Every structure is written in structure tokens, then in C-alpha cells.
């Protein structure tokens, strides 16, 4: 499989990219920091034990670079079967409430620009007769929740967009995989108190890889979060007003 | 495990706002509650201190202003724990990228948080293995440098420092420095075995061992007493790259120091199975067992069973490297066996100059004081490495797990006094209870180390709970 990967340098993205590389898939990394991308590319090459892993700059806050980054990936890989997006901004609700400009940046990057990136990716995949678009949304978008009001809103929008992509293009060969991680212990959540059922990036990556291979439209990781969110979604409003979750 | 003290920092917590409000109405300043949820850190021995670990893939960023770096926290005592006044350490475990590997020479360069588990998983199928084979693979490269770890091959391959070629470090002033045997050799030698007190290791370049197959030809043999054990270890040394012994440290009299000697070498392609060893599931000790589970009687029963279950002749097998090198890794969280008070490991080396009788004298003292340990590991050490205060030296190393009880400090003191009299020393990566004056009496090389440390860290910024305890650093 030829995979273009936005966000492979950190957290769950790093773990997933390693699994893909170790089983022999070809990877092309997209990301913000060129030096950091190079290090991750060397890491994946060493773990795969073969091939070269190309890189190109791509910043979710600079949508004008999306097309050229995906062109570079397509050229570097000599094709394109799968696009994975794990990148995104995360800031705690407190800080977003203090800094409205930061909130605007987060909403733009995690929703508007991610959708634009997916549009570019989707067109390229459809032009090749289909493929897989795997995007990391979040359980934060499942219900309006106090601690993730703004971040959750961006992810809710992204989830709906991915759902529509699946409805619209599945018949033409585009398999959309919407990943909804619960609390996973990565550098993104470092310093936040971990709830019960917090996951680790490696098992999460294995579950996501399985979902990519099956073309599963929605996957909760770790799996238990599917049931947790089922409960949260069915809670009446007066309860949601009381709890801090 | 670490639930933050303040409610605002609980975005994912399930606790209800109502309950928290009621609590705060009853007690406007719920001190006890805060104390309970104060974040704590502990080493593998589960003796905790107040502290927090910051983790990031970007180790350069998080090491700018911390007193210490910490890997997977497998040192038993307080060497990976922060000093009381600066309770935040940088965790390196997410900085785990392989930066370069040359299959022609076996030279690997990686970030400091790469675990030995990952290293072996990636490179064993390609015919490379770590050069020193320590007792667990849940350690990081940075930790292996800081503790200058050794293993079953010490009599041949020395400790890990001997295989390190270059280090990239952040030193106390904030600068990033590359050091090796040629560039800043003093810093290099002080960092190997320097317990992270000379700077934060960011990247490690080391040479891996080329192996003929991914399988181990292992032999084990029951040995009847300590003197025969010493002879058997000595005889096995020249012929076997890997040797280690387990002793029943509760056996007395004629049977004192009886145990099982393990010898091993890499299997040649002809004698090994064709395939690769497959990873097996590792069960976990799910919770902390009560403190009475491991006591004198259960240990005595365990040791007797362990000894007698081995057939009285030599047993030869082809085994997976994991089961030969890391038998304890089979069970996750095995440190929970030792109960809520935790445990410590006491490891010392008794030098050759102390004579053949030193291990016997050590065991006599141990049994007289009633020290009970399930795990008592004996190993002959080879030449001293380059590290300025690194642990191994020619002689016999003995390691024991001791549950923390009221008498444990007294036992460690008594053992330390014997070790000082024999001219030996203790291993800081295991240590939780050695007194500063005892450590200084064991370590004549300490002044050289401290001089290098002062040169690179004149303000004394880098320190650990352990350096406060034994080197007299300010808290």
C-alpha cells in the first residue's frame, strides 16, 4: 500500500506509521517541521529495513500548501492508495476560553483546513479509482461536553463531513475511516489526569490498522469508548449540565 | 494513577460536579483530599516521592529546565526520582526514534528513549542483539548509559558503556554537547554510569552485537553449595558468553549457596529452529498484593521448590532469547508482589581481592540477619569499564530483592559494612537505602567524578532524590 501520512511524527500517528512501515507499506510523510520529519523518516526506514521514506512540508494552518504536498507524495510514492491524517491542534478548554484567537486557529486547523486537505486527498484517490482516507477525529465530537466545548465542536464537524464522504463516495471506491480516539496517553494528553480506560498508542494503532484494512467507516479506540460514548450520548441534558465529563 | 488536585484540570474525569461542590461546602479547604491526589513517582521498587514526569517526543524541549531525565523507571530505588525541591523530571520514553543503523558495522544511533524491547524486536530478526543482555528489556538507551548496565555477558563484553560510541547531551548550562572518547572524553566517561547527574542524554550511538541465529542454546545445572558455585562460574566463563546463577539464599550450613547455574550461547544456524521466535502474551500481576504474601516462609518454600524442580543433571535446550535473558519480564508488574511498602534490590560486587571466601561471608551475614529473598542472583564480573563511578569491577556480583520491612534499613547497613570491609561497592541503579557515608567509603573514585560534574554543572542544577541522599546534594 502507498500511504501519504500527515502527522506521523508524534503520538498515535507515530505508532500507526511504524506498524505500516514494519509490515512493508510505502510511506510518505507530511508535516510542519522538516528536520523532525526527516528524523521520523529515518526511523521508519530503519524499522522497515528497506526502501526510502520521502517527506514534504505541509502545515494544517497553511492550506495553500496542501495540493503541492499531496502532489509530492503522489510523485514520491509513484501512486497513492491511502491517505492518513492524524495531525491536529489540541488545547485545553480553559486556554481556548482565555484566548479567542487561539480558538479561531484551532477551529480553522482542526475543522476547515482538515476538510480542505481531505478534499484534495479525496479527489486524488478517486481519480485513481478509489482508496482509503483515514482521518483522526475524536470522541470529543460525540456530544457537547464542558471540557471540550470548542475542540469538540471542530471534531464534531469533521466527523459529520467524513460520514458524508462515506455515504457519497463509498460506491465509487473511496473508503473513509473515521477514527474516534478516547483518552489515549500521548504527549498531547500529557499532564491531563488520565481517566479509567485510558489507552496506549500502540494498541490503538493496531486497532486503526485493522479498521483501515477492513475499510471500517467508524472506529472507536480503545474499543471500550464506543460503549462509554453510547452512554454519554444517551444522557439527558440535565445530567450533562451537572457532570464535568 | 495521577489525578490532578484541582477540579479545573479534570477535563476527562468522571467525578460529578455536584459531589465536588458538596465536599467543598463541608470543608472549604479540603487539604486531605489534595494530599491524597498529589502526583507521585516511584522507581521499580514502588517507594514513591512527590513528583511529576513530563513526557514529549521532543526531548530537547522538555529537558531545558529539569533536574533529571527518566526513562522507563526500572531503576529500583530513587535514582530516577526528582529531588524534593524540584519535583518535575523529563520522561524520555516517547523520544524513541531510530536515527541511523548501518548493517555492515552494527552501529545504531537512536534517541535516548528507545527501549531495549523495541531495539531487540526490530534488530534480532536482522541478526543483531544488544551487546550486554541486562536482566530486563523494559529500559531505555538513555537509562542503559546512565546506569552503565551490565548483564550475563559481563565477564566477556563488559558493561554497556564499552559499546557506546557517542552521546548527544543537554548539559546543565542548557547547551547541547556531543561527546565521545575523542571529544569531551571526561564528560563521556562521567556520563557512563553517572546516573544522569552530568547531563540529559538525548541521543546514543552504540554498536550492536551480531548473532548467528535468533535462538539461544541454554544449559542449566543444579549446584550444591556456594564454593562449588564459584568454581562452576569460573569454569564456565572462558567457554560461555553468557553465565548467571540463581541461589537459594535461605539455605544454610552444608547447603549454603546452593542454586542453579545458567550458561548460554547463541545457537548456530544448523542447530536452531528455522523460524523466528514469536512474541508470547505476558500476564500481569493485576493489583498490589498484601505485604504478608512474601515473607520468610513463602520465600523458603519457593526457593526449595525452585531448586528441587530442576533435574539433578545438566539440562540442555534451545530457547527463545526472551526466556533466557529476561525471565522476569514474562510477568508484567511483578513488583506488585512485594506489597504496599514496596521493595528494594541490594546488589553489590565483592572484588577478586577479597578472595574466594567473600561470597560465603556475605551469605553467612545475610542468613544470620534473616534476610529472605526469592531472587538472589550471582554473577562473575569482568574488567572495570570506563565510567568514572560505574558499578562493575572484577569479582563476584550478588543481587537480592528485599521487601521493605522495619528491619530492612538495618540489614542494608550491615551488608554495606561488610561490603566496605571486603573492598566492594553497591549498584546505584538498584539502591534505595545506602547511607551517604557508606557510599563514600565504597567509592574512592567519587572525587574524580564530582570534579567533572562540578565543571559541567557548577550551580548544581542536575540532581536526583538519590544524589541528595548519598552525595549530599542540596534538596
Chain-chain contact of B56 with A39 (C-beta, under 8 angstroms):
no
Find, among B218, B143, B402, B153, the residue nearest to B296 by Cα: B402
Residue of B nearest to A232 (CA): B14
Mean pLDDT of the B425-429 span: 97
CATH T-level fold of B98-211+444-470: 3.30.465
Lowest mean pLDDT among B128-132, B296-300, B321-325: B296-300
| Inter-CA distances, B77 with B309, B345, B474, Å | 32, 8, 19
Q: Which residues in A lie closer than 8 A to residue B98 (C-beta atoms)?
A: 42-43, 46-47
Q: Which residues in B lie closer than 8 A to residue A146 (C-beta atoms)?
A: 11
Separation CA B407–CA B292 (nearest Å): 15
Chain-chain contact of B56 with A49 (C-beta, under 8 angstroms):
no
In chain A, the percentage of residues whose pLDDT exceeds 70 is 100
CA distance A191 to chain B (A): 7
Indicate the residue of A49, A187, A244 with minimum beta-carbon distance to B16. A244
> What pLDDT score was predicted for residue A224?
95
CA distance A162 to chain B (A): 25
Chain-chain contact of B18 with A242 (C-beta, under 8 angstroms):
yes
A52 touches chain B (CB under 8 A): no
Residue of A nearest to B3 (CA): A193
Q: Which residues in A lie closer than 8 A to residue B126 (C-beta atoms)?
A: 49
CA distance A214 to chain B (A): 25
- For the residues of A124-144, what is the DSSP string, one character each? HHHHTT-EEEEEE--GGGSS-
- pLDDT classification of B313: cutoffs 50, 70, 90: confident
- pLDDT classification of A193: cutoffs 50, 70, 90: confident
Give the tens place of pLDDT for each residue, A56-101. Answer: 999 999 999 999 999 999 999 999 999 999 999 999 999 999 999 9
Q: Is a pLDDT exceeding 70 seen at residue B5?
A: no
Q: Is a pLDDT exceeding 90 seen at residue B292?
A: no
Mean pLDDT of the B301-310 span: 90
Query: Which letter, b or e, does each residue of B136-154 get, where b requires 16 or more Cβ atoms within 10 Å of its Cβ?
Result: bbbbbbbbbbbbbbbbbbb
Greater confidence (B8 vs A146) lies with A146
Chain-chain contact of B57 with A14 (C-beta, under 8 angstroms):
yes
Could you list the residue range(s) of the whole structural domain that residue A120 is in? Answer: 2-242
pTM here? 0.91
> What pLDDT score was predicted for residue B372?
78
- pLDDT classification of B151: cutoffs 50, 70, 90: very high
Q: Is a pLDDT exceeding 90 seen at residue A51?
A: no
Indicate the residue of B7, B11, B99 with minimum beta-carbon distance to A192. B11
Q: Using an 8 Å Cβ cutoff, are A4 and A82 in contact?
A: yes
Q: Using an 8 Å Cβ cutoff, are A114 and A159 in contact?
A: no
Mean pLDDT of the A134-161 span: 96
A160-169: which pairs have CB atoms within 8 A and are 24 or more residues apart? A161/A115, A161/A118, A162/A118, A162/A133, A162/A135, A162/A137, A163/A217, A163/A218, A165/A118, A165/A122, A165/A133, A166/A217, A169/A122, A169/A126
Mean pLDDT of chain A: 96
Give the tens place of pLDDT for each residue, B235-249. Answer: 999 999 999 999 998
Q: Using an 8 Å Cβ cutoff, are A185 and A199 in contact?
A: yes
Among B2, B4, B10, B12, the strongest candidate for a mutation testing the A interface, having the largest count of A CBs within 10 A, is B12
Chain-chain contact of B98 with A190 (C-beta, under 8 angstroms):
no
DSSP state of B93: T
> What pLDDT score was predicted for residue B87?
95
3-state secondary structure B199-217: CEEEEEEEECEECCCCCEE
Q: Which residues in B lie closer than 8 A to residue A148 (C-beta atoms)?
A: 11
* CATH code, A66: 3.40.50.720
Q: Which residues in B lie closer than 8 A to residue A195 (C-beta atoms)?
A: 12-14
> What pLDDT score was predicted for residue B37?
65
A11 touches chain B (CB under 8 A): yes
Q: Is a pLDDT exceeding 80 seen at residue B24?
A: no
Give the tens place of pLDDT for each residue, A103-119. Answer: 999 999 999 999 999 99
Q: Is a pLDDT exceeding 70 seen at residue B7?
A: no
Q: For chain B, which residues make up each domain, given as ranges?
A: 1-38, 98-211+444-470, 216-442
CA distance B64 to chain A (A): 17
Mean pLDDT of chain B: 90
Domain count, chain A: 1
A47 touches chain B (CB under 8 A): yes
Indicate the residue of B9, B17, B94 with minimum beta-carbon distance to A242. B17
Greater confidence (B142 vs A51) lies with B142
Contact residues, A window 78-97, toward B, CB-based 8 Å cutoff: 92-94
Q: Which residues in B lie closer than 8 A to residue A42 (C-beta atoms)?
A: 97-100
| Range B216-442 classified under CATH 3.30.70 | no
A244 touches chain B (CB under 8 A): yes
Neighbours of B340 (CB within 10 A): 11
> What pLDDT score was predicted for residue B15?
39
Mean pLDDT of the B140-150 span: 98
Contact residues, A window 183-202, toward B, CB-based 8 Å cutoff: 183, 186-187, 190-196
Q: Name the interface residues of B facing A (CB cutoff 8 Å).
A: 1-4, 7-18, 20, 54-58, 94, 97-101, 122, 126
Find, among A155, A165, A75, A153, the residue nearest to A119 by Cα: A165
A148 touches chain B (CB under 8 A): yes
Residue of A nearest to B101 (CA): A46
Q: Using an 8 Å Cβ cutoff, are B285 and B333 in contact?
A: yes
Q: Is a pLDDT exceeding 80 seen at residue B27?
A: no
Q: Which residues in A lie closer than 8 A to residue B16 (C-beta atoms)?
A: 242-244
- pLDDT classification of A50: cutoffs 50, 70, 90: confident
Q: Is a pLDDT exceeding 90 seen at residue B295?
A: no
CA distance A128 to chain B (A): 33
Q: Is a pLDDT exceeding 60 seen at residue B29?
A: no
Give the tens place of pLDDT for each residue, B57-116. Answer: 999 999 999 999 999 999 999 999 999 999 999 999 999 999 999 999 999 999 999 999
Indicate the residue of A40, A49, A187 with minimum beta-carbon distance to B97. A40
Amino acid at each position: 500500500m502507498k500511504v501519504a501520512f500527515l502527522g506521523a511524527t508524534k503520538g498515535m500517528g507515530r505508532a500507526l506509521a511504524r506498524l505500516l512501515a514494519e509490515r512493508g507499506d510505502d510511506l510518505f510523510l507530511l508535516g510542519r517541521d522538516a528536520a523532525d520529519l526527516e528524523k521520523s523518516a529515518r526511523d521508519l526506514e530503519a524499522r522497515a529495513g528497506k526502501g526510502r521514506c520521502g517527506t514534504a512540508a505541509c502545515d494544517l494552518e497553511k492550506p495553500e500548501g496542501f495540493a503541492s504536498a499531496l502532489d509530492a507524495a503522489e510523485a514520491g510514492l509513484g501512486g497513492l492508495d491511502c491517505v492518513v491524517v492524524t495531525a491536529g491542534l489540541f488545547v485545553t478548554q480553559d486556554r481556548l476560553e482565555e484566548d479567542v484567537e487561539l480558538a479561531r486557529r484551532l477551529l480553522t486547523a482542526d475543522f476547515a483546513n482538515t476538510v480542505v486537505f481531505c478534499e484534495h486527498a479525496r479527489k486524488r484517490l478517486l481519480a485513481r479509482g478509489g482508496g482509503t482516507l483515514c482521518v483522526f477525529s475524536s470522541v470529543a465530537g460525540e456530544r457537547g461536553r464542558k471540557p471540550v466545548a470548542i475542540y469538540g465542536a471542530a471534531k464534531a464537524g469533521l466527523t459529520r463531513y467524513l460520514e458524508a464522504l462515506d455515504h457519497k463516495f463509498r460506491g465509487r471506491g473511496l473508503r473513509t475511516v473515521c477514527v474516534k480516539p478516547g483518552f489515549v496517553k500521548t504527549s498531547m494528553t500529557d499532564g491531563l489526569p488520565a481517566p479509567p480506560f485510558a489507552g496506549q498508542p500502540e494498541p490503538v494503532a493496531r486497532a486503526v490498522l485493522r479498521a483501515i484494512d477492513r475499510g471500517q467507516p467508524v472506529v472507536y479506540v480503545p474499543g471500550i469508548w464506543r460503549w462509554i460514548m453510547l452512554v454519554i450520548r444517551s444522557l439527558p441534558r440535565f445530567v450533562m449540565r451537572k457532570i464535568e465529563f | 494513577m495521577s489525578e490532578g488536585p484541582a477540579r479545573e484540570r479534570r477535563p476527562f474525569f468522571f467525578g460529578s460536579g455536584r459531589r465536588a461542590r458538596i465536599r467543598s461546602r463541608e470543608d472549604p479547604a479540603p487539604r486531605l483530599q489534595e494530599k491524597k491526589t498529589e502526583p507521585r513517582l516511584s522507581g521499580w521498587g514502588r517507594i514513591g516521592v512527590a513528583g511529576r514526569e513530563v513526557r514529549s517526543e521532543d526531548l530537547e524541549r522538555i529537558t531545558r529546565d529539569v533536574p533529571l531525565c527518566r526513562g522507563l523507571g526500572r531503576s529500583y530505588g530513587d535514582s530516577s526520582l526528582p529531588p524534593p525541591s524540584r519535583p518535575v523530571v523529563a520522561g524520555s520514553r516517547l523520544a524513541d526514534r531510530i536515527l541511523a543503523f548501518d548493517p555492515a558495522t552494527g552501529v545504531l544511533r537512536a534517541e535516548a528513549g528507545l527501549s531495549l524491547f523495541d531495539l531487540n524486536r526490530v534488530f534480532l530478526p536482522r541478526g543483531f542483539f544488544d551487546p550486554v543482555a541486562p536482566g530486563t528489556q523494559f529500559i531505555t538507551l538513555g537509562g542503559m548509559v546512565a546506569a552503565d548496565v551490565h548483564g550475563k555477558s559481563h565477564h566477556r563484553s563488559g558493561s554497556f558503556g564499552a559499546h557506546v560510541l557517542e552521546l548527544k547531551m543537554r548539559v546543565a548550562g542548557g547547551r547541547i554537547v556531543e561527546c565521545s572518547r575523542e571529544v569531551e572524553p571526561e564528560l563521556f566517561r562521567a556520563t557512563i554510569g553517572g546516573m544522569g547527574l552530568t547531563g540529559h542524554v538525548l541521543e546514543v550511538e552504540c554498536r550492536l552485537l551480531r548473532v548467528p541465529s535468533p535462538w539461544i542454546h541454554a544449559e542449566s545445572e543444579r549446584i550444591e553449595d556456594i564454593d562449588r558455585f564459584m568454581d562452576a562460574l569460573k569454569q564456565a566463563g572462558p567457554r560461555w558468553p553468557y553465565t548467571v546463577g540463581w541461589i537459594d539464599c535461605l539455605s544454610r550450613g552444608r547447603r549454603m549457596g546452593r542454586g542453579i547455574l545458567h550458561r548460554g550461547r547463541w545457537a548456530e544456524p544448523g542447530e536452531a529452529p528455522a523460524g523466528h521466535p514469536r512474541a508470547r502474551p505476558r500476564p500481569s500481576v493485576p493489583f498490589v498484593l498484601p505485604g504478608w504474601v512474601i515473607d520468610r516462609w513463602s520465600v523458603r518454600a519457593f526457593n526449595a521448590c525452585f531448586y528441587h524442580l530442576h533435574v539433578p543433571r545438566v539440562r540442555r535446550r534451545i530457547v527463545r532469547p526472551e526466556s533466557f535473558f529476561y525471565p522476569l519480564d514474562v510477568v508484567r508488574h511483578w513488583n506488585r508482589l512485594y506489597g504496599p511498602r514496596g521493595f528494594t534490590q541490594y546488589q553489590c560486587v565483592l572484588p577478586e581481592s577479597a578472595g574466594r571466601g567473600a561470597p560465603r561471608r556475605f551469605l553467612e551475614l545475610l542468613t544470620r540477619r534473616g534476610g529472605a529473598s526469592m531472587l538472589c542472583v550471582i554473577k562473575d564480573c569482568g574488567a572495570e569499564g570506563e565510567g568514572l563511578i560505574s558499578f562493575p569491577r572484577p569479582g563476584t556480583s550478588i543481587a537480592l530483592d528485599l521487601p521493605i520491612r522495619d528491619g530492612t534499613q538495618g540489614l542494608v547497613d550491615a551488608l554495606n559494612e561488610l561490603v566496605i570491609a571486603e573492598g566492594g561497592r553497591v549498584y546505584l541503579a538498584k539502591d534505595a537505602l545506602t547511607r551517604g557515608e557508606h557510599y563514600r567509603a565504597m567509592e574512592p573514585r567519587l572525587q574524580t567524578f564530582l570534579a567533572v560534574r562540578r565543571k559541567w554543572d557548577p550551580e548544581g542544577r542536575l540532581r536526583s532524590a538519590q544524589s541528595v541522599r548519598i552525595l549530599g546534594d542540596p534538596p
